[in-house]
Amino acid sequence: MNGIEEIKGEICMTEELSRTSALAERHRALGSGLEDWNGMGTAWSYDSDPNDEHDAVRERAGMFDMSPLKKVFVRGPDAMAVLDHATSRDLTRLAPGQAAYLSVLTESGTLADDAIVSNNGDDEWMIVHGSGQTMAMLQASAEGRDVDITLNDNFHDISVQGPGALDILNVNCSIDLASMAYFNHAEATLFGRPCRISRTGYSGERGYEVFADQSVVVDIWDQLAAAGVMPCSFTSLDKVRIEAGLLFYDYDMNAEHTPWEVGLGFTVSRSKENFRGRDALMAAEGKENLRNVGLVVDHDDMVNGGEDLLLDGKKVGLVNSPCFSHRLGLSLALGHVAPGVADGVQLQVSGDGIETTAEVRALPFYDPQKSRTHA
């Protein structure tokens, strides 16, 4: 399939079992073993210190190869209608050049995935998602409609994040990125190479995602590195996204959870009447079984994840995504707790050799006003 799969108005459950980033040799040269995520070899670690990578994102600029995310193009007269049915936000309000973060729901109103949808104009849309069931949901919504759905694994994604990202990119870009609003995007050339640049990211910093074909993405990566952007691993990505309170599908949310439970109620357009799982979702509001929280753990390192959270000896939650933030000097985690467990409560943390306590905190830990992403 050469990384491209086309579906025309019908269900097609073909699953890509193995994908290779065009940047694989760059990652190997930096010390990565290219561990699997989402069917693609991913730089979970480099020879560099992840704390140094973390510092680069917070102080200057770092870049992540986010190509394991799946890029799906939805085209045709019914493209918007298909996406509008498959997702939780009112896409009729999304103008060309705008994007939105949203939930992809099951018929039961639970989370099949989370994703970003971009309106490219001229009946073309792009939806970018991780390891959930977005493609299956799109295919089901496409039945009987005039639409083409194309999964393109040759379209890569370099996420350039940090306070220096704008200056480094802008001087080498054909468009003025300084005027690009948050969650907007446009076609451009970067270092003379064609791409699409989106003001989005997964770091809690102002940043940009550079989407480019595999034929040019290696040169863009090399030019960014030469301009001083530090290659960063997924280990450091975990640190910055946990500090920023950003969820990772299947770790912090899955098909057992509703958006209400994991803090994604803002992705639901309440006035929208026709999308998959709507009735079940609305009926579930106010009946949450858990809530997503931050945890500051009394520990001098990161915990393992999967530990039980107890209150007066009774299990009330679970640790999901842990990290140690050397910048905040804290062992942090995202977790789920029972709805009645309030911020500020001290819980016992127990499991896999860990016996300590943690305080429940509101999210995000870093930049709670989100002034950096929205600057």
CA distances from 103 to 70, 89, 264, 291 (A): 15, 8, 8, 17
User: Which distant-in-sequence residues (6+ apart) come within 8 Å of 355 by Cβ?
Assistant: 348, 349
- In this prediction, residue 11 carries a pLDDT of 33
Per-residue pLDDT, averaged over 300-322, amounts to 98
**Intrachain domains 4-242 and 290-367+371-375 with the same fold:** no
CB 113 within 8 Å of CB 129: yes
Q: Please report which confidence band the pLDDT of residue 5 belongs to, taking 50, 70 and 90 as the band edges.
A: very low
d(CA 348, CA 113): 31
Residue 304 has pLDDT above 50, yes or no: yes
Q: Which two tokens stand for residue 301?
A: 């390192």
pLDDT digits (tens, 9 = 90+) for 79-92: 999 999 999 999 99
DSSP 237: H
Residue 45 has pLDDT above 80, yes or no: yes
Residue 17 has pLDDT above 90, yes or no: no
d(CA 255, CA 253): 7
Question: Which CATH number is associated with domain 4-242?
Answer: 3.30.1360.120
pLDDT digits (tens, 9 = 90+) for 214-235: 999 999 999 999 999 999 999 9
Secondary structure class of 363 (helix, strand, coil) = coil
Instruction: Parse the chain into domains and list their residue ranges.
Output: 4-242, 290-367+371-375
Amino acid at 105: L
Residue 296 has pLDDT above 50, yes or no: yes
pLDDT digits (tens, 9 = 90+) for 90-128: 999 999 999 999 999 999 999 999 999 999 999 999 999
Secondary structure class of 25 (helix, strand, coil) = helix
User: Which distant-in-sequence residues (6+ apart) come within 8 Å of 54 by Cβ?
Assistant: 232, 236, 239, 240, 325, 326, 327
The total of other beta-carbon atoms located within 10 Å of residue 192's CB is 11
d(CA 135, CA 113): 10
Question: Which CATH number is associated with domain 290-367+371-375?
Answer: 2.40.30.110
- In this prediction, residue 10 carries a pLDDT of 37
Per-residue pLDDT, averaged over 10-15, amounts to 35
- In this prediction, residue 299 carries a pLDDT of 98
- In this prediction, residue 258 carries a pLDDT of 98
Residue 13 has pLDDT above 60, yes or no: no
Residue 6 has pLDDT above 70, yes or no: no
Residue 153 has pLDDT above 60, yes or no: yes
pLDDT digits (tens, 9 = 90+) for 252-294: 999 999 999 999 999 999 999 999 999 999 999 999 999 999 9
% of the chain with per-residue pLDDT over 70 = 95
Q: Please report which confidence band the pLDDT of residue 375 belongs to, taking 50, 70 and 90 as the band edges.
A: confident
Residue 14 has pLDDT above 90, yes or no: no
- In this prediction, residue 352 carries a pLDDT of 87
Between 14 and 344, residue with greater pLDDT: 344
pLDDT digits (tens, 9 = 90+) for 329-363: 999 999 999 999 999 999 999 998 999 999 999 99
